Amino acid sequence: MGVLQLCAPPKAPKKHTHMACELTKGRGLDCKDIMGGIKAVYFVQHEDATIAHSSGSVSDIDLTTNLFKYTLPRGTGSFTETIQPSVENGTVFYEPAVTIMLHKMTVADRNEIKLLAQNRLIIFVETNATISNGHTNIWCLGVENGMELTAGTTATGAGFADMNGYNLTFTGAESEPCLLVADYTTSPFDNAAFTVNNITTS
């Protein structure tokens, strides 16, 4: 007498759960028309700035004090943002870092660097990279938690041609990547929506 073979019930189709972080686009090769490095940084105290942003872009800046611009010698400044994920903990944050070099030791710089070290800052980084109209890209760092001066040196150098001045590094920790500031009209931060009273350059 034959053995009755029972068929296993068909497996239910696997359900896919759609998360809020679904991918949206791919990326091809672009033209080789970009340039590295940064040309200037702008500082403002974190508590003196209100920043509105959406989808990675800054749409409004309201400052209750001046912006303080530091123009950098060519090839002496950089901006890096490190993605800090933890597979084990299921977390991710972003660590922006700005490094600048200032030539020549002065009492005025000594005093201002002391103030930078005592503050939580928002830093705007003006890059050498430009868009189609020739305007530079400006990135905003530290909107959520602020940027702080976390390393620095003052040095005379040893040889006649050595650098005399300051090397400063500012770092932060944010829940989102850095933000691109909306394109300006003629000069940085002259946007009609922005309230930037003055840019101090010296």
Give percent of the chain above pLDDT 90. 79
Please state the domain extents for the chain: 38-200
Beta bridge partners of 64: none
- Residue 202 near residue 68 (C-beta atoms within 8 A): no
On the question of pLDDT at 1 being above 60, the answer is no
Which one is predicted more confidently, 13 or 29? 29
Residue % of the chain over a pLDDT of 70:
91
**147 Cβ partners below 8 Å, 6+ apart?**
96, 98, 120, 121, 122, 123, 141, 170, 171, 172
Extract the tokens encoding 101. Answer: 């070099």
**Each residue of 38-87: pLDDT tens digit?**
999 999 999 999 999 999 999 999 999 999 999 999 999 999 999 999 99
pLDDT, greater one: 30 or 69:
69
Q: What is the pLDDT of residue 17?
A: 62
Task: Pinpoint the alpha helices (H) of 23-182.
Answer: 107-118
Phi-psi region at 157: left, alpha or beta (left = phi > 0; alpha = psi -120 to 50): left
* Total residues belonging to the chain: 202
| This prediction's pTM | 0.86
Q: What is the pLDDT of residues 134-170, one digit of tens each?
A: 999 999 999 999 999 999 999 999 999 999 999 999 9
> Distance (Å, rounded) from C-alpha 144 to C-alpha 46?
9
pLDDT at 197: 86
Residue carrying the six token digits 């890096």: 80
C-alpha 53/C-alpha 65 separation (Å) is: 20
Residue 32 and residue 15: Cα distance in Å, rounded?
A: 43
Nearest alpha carbon to residue 129 among 26, 199, 40:
40
Report residue 202's pLDDT band, with 50, 70 and 90 as the boundaries.
Answer: confident
